[in-house]
Chains A and B, each alone.
Chain A
Amino acid sequence: MAGKSKHEFRANTLPAIITVGPVALIMLLLVAAPLMYVGVMSFCSIDEYYNVTHDLTLGNYVRLANTDYLKIYVQSLLIAFITTILCILIGYPFSYIIARSKSRFKRIFYMLVIIPFWTNSLIRIYGWRSFLGTNGWLNSSLVSLGIVSEPIDFLYKNGTTILGMVYCLIPFMILPLYTAIEKLDGTLLEASADLGAKPVSTFFTVILPLTSSGIFSGSLMVFIPCLGYFFVADILGGGNSDVIGNLIERQFQSGNNWPLGAALSIILIIVTLVLVKAYQKLGGDMDALGV
C-alpha cells in the first residue's frame, strides 16, 4: 500500500504541485486574498483622521444607496453602453471587410489595427485633447476654412469621454470579431446565396449567428473596462462625466476614505459578475476573453 501511494505521489501529486503550485499561490495571495480584504474593508469605518478602523458598519453602503451615487452609476453604465454600441457599429463592418478581404495586404491591414496600441494609451488620449481643443488642429482648420466663425467647444463633455473610450477599447471589439468572421466558411455564404437568400437575410440568418460569439466577447471586453477607465474621463471629460472608476480613485486619493472606496469596488465587482453571468448564459466561452 505504502508503495502504491508513493508511486501515486511521484506520478501525480508531486508534478501537480510543481506545475500548478506557483499559479495557485499567486492567485490565492494576490487575487483572492486582496479581494476578500476589500470586501471586509467595505464594512469598516474611518476615524477622525481618515484611519481605517475595524468598527463594522453598513454605513458605506447606505451612503452609496443615495440617489446621487445612483445617478453616477447610471451615467457610467450609459457611457459604457453607448461605447459598446459604437464599437460594434464601427468594429463589425470594419472587421468584416478586413477579415473577408482577399488582398495580399490583409495581414498588414490587421497589424495596422494593433500598431497604434503599442503607443502609450494616455499620450494618445492626450493627443485627442490637443486635437479637439479650442485652438487645436480641428478648430483651427474649421475656422481657417471658414466653416465656422467661432471655435466649437468639443472638449470636456460626455461625448468626448465616449470618444476616448471608443478609441481605447475598440481593438478589444475588432480582434475577436476578426477571428470569428475569418473562421466563417465561405461556401456556407455561397450556399445561402445559391438557395436564393438575399444578402440581408444571409447576414441575419447565417453570418450574424455564426459570429455572435465575437460580438459577445467583444462587448464584454469593452463594456467592463469602460466602467473603470478613470483617466479617460479625467483627460477628455474634464471631471464632468465621471465613471465609477473615478469615484473609486477619488476615495483612494483625495477623498481618503478607503472603506467607502472598497464598497464602491464591491458594487463594481457585482456589476461585473452579473455581466459575466449574462455572457455565459448567452453561450460565451470564458477562455475566449483572454486570447
Chain B
Amino acid sequence: MKNKGFRVIFCSIVYIFLFLPISVIVVNSFNATTTKPYMSWKGFTLDWYVKLWDNSSLLEAFSNTMIIAIVSTVLATVIGTLGAIGMYRYKFKGKGLIDGLLYIPVVIPEIVLGISLLTIFANVNIPRGMLTLILAHVTFCIPFVIFNVRARLSGYDNSIEEASLDLGANRVRTFFEVTLPILAPGIFGGALLAFTLSIDDVIISYFVYGQTKTYPLKVMESVKSGVSPDVNALSTIILIATILFVVLTQGSLFKKKDRRI
C-alpha cells in the first residue's frame, strides 16, 4: 500500500466503475433519438429536459416517491426514536421478541418482506396504493432509525436527565431540551438512511403498489421497453440536486481542516 501510483490507479478504477453507468445515463439524456429503444446516438439535444415537464405520469411517480419518502421517514424517525429510548430505558415482557423482530427487515432479502406484506394485505383486503406503500416503507425503515439512535444511547449518561428532573423540569421538557439534543446525530443519521432507502426501494414497493407508481417502479416499467431519454434527464436532475445538496450542507468538506461530522 506504500506505492502511491498503485493507490491512485486502483482507486481511480474503482471510481470509474462506480460512475460509469451514471455517465451513460447523463450522456443519454442529451440523445436526440426519438425511436425506441433509444440506444443509438442521434446527436445532441436539450429537448428531453423540456419534454420531461409534459410527461405527467413520470412527474406524478416522482412526486409519489417524494411524498412516500418524506412521510415514511418522518413516521419511522418518530416511532423509531421513541422506541429506541423506551427499549433502552424500560423493562417489559416481550422485549426480546421486539428486539429480534427488528433485525428481520434488515437482514432478510427484501423480496421476502415484499411478498409477505403482499399476502397479508391481500388477505385482509387493504387496497394497495399510497397507504400500503407508506406502511411497507415505515416497516423497513424503523429498524435503521432504531439502530442509529441506539448506537448514540449506548454512551448516554442517565444522570443528565435526572439532574434536569431534579432542577424542576418536567418529563416532556426534559425530553425535548435534554434527551433529544443529545440523540440528534443518531436520529439524523437514521432519518437520512431511511430516506435514502425509501426513495430507491423497488423490490418491496413492486409487490404493494396497486396503482400508485413510484419513480423506481416507473423506471422499472420503462426498462421493459427501453428507457427513454426523459427518464435519463430526470435522473440527471436528481443527481445534480443531490450533489448540490452535499456540497451545500457539507461545505466543511472543502475546508482545509478535516473534521469528522
Shortest distance in angstroms between B164's beta carbon and chain A's nearest beta carbon?
16
**Cross-chain contact B110 with A228 (CB below 8 angstroms):** yes
Q: How far is the CA of A116 from the CA of B24 in the complex (A)?
A: 12
Answer whether A286 and B103 are a contact pair too, CB < 8 Å, given A16-B90, A167-B17, A291-B147.
yes
Instruction: Give the docked Cα–Cα distance between A31 and B107 (Å).
Output: 12
- Render A245-264 as a binary contact track against B, CB cut-off 8 A, 1 for contact: 10011001000001001100
Count how many pairs of residues, one from A and one from B, have CB atoms less than 8 Å apart in the complex. Answer: 262
A64 on interface, CB distance cutoff 8 Å: no
Q: Considering the complex, give the chain A residue whose CB is closest to the CB of B104.
A: A31
Interface-located stretch among B46-54, B155-163, B200-208:
B200-208
Chain B interface helix/strand/loop/mixed: helix
CA–CA, A37 to B14, complex, Å? Answer: 43
Which residue numbers of A lie inside 8 Å of B, CB to CB?
12-13, 15-16, 18-20, 22-24, 26-28, 30-35, 37-38, 41, 90, 93-94, 96-98, 100, 104-109, 111-113, 115-128, 130-131, 133, 135-137, 167, 170, 199, 220, 224-225, 227-231, 235, 244-245, 248-249, 252, 258, 261-262, 265, 268-269, 272, 276, 286-287, 289-291
A22, A27, A231, A268: the one within 8 Å of B109 (CB): A268
A38 to B238, CA, bound (A): 37
Chain A residues contacting B202 (CB-CB under 8 Å) are 120-122, 231
Contact of B103 among A199, A262, A289, A291 (CB under 8 A): A289
A290 / chain B contacts, CB cutoff of 8 Å: 103, 106, 143-144, 146-148
| Contact yes or no, B79 A225, CB < 8 A | no
Cβ contact within 8 Å between B223 and A252: no
Smallest Cβ-Cβ distance to B243: which chain A residue: A115
Given contacts A26-B138, A262-B119, A268-B112, contact A291 B148 (CB under 8 A): yes
Contact with B256, one of A104, A112, A170 (Cβ below 8 angstroms): A104
Chain A residues with CB under 8 A of B118: 252
Contact A24 B98, beta carbon cutoff 8 Å: yes
Known: A90-B17, A127-B25. 6 other contacts (CB 8 A): A118-B200, A224-B108, A230-B111, A265-B112, A290-B147, A291-B148
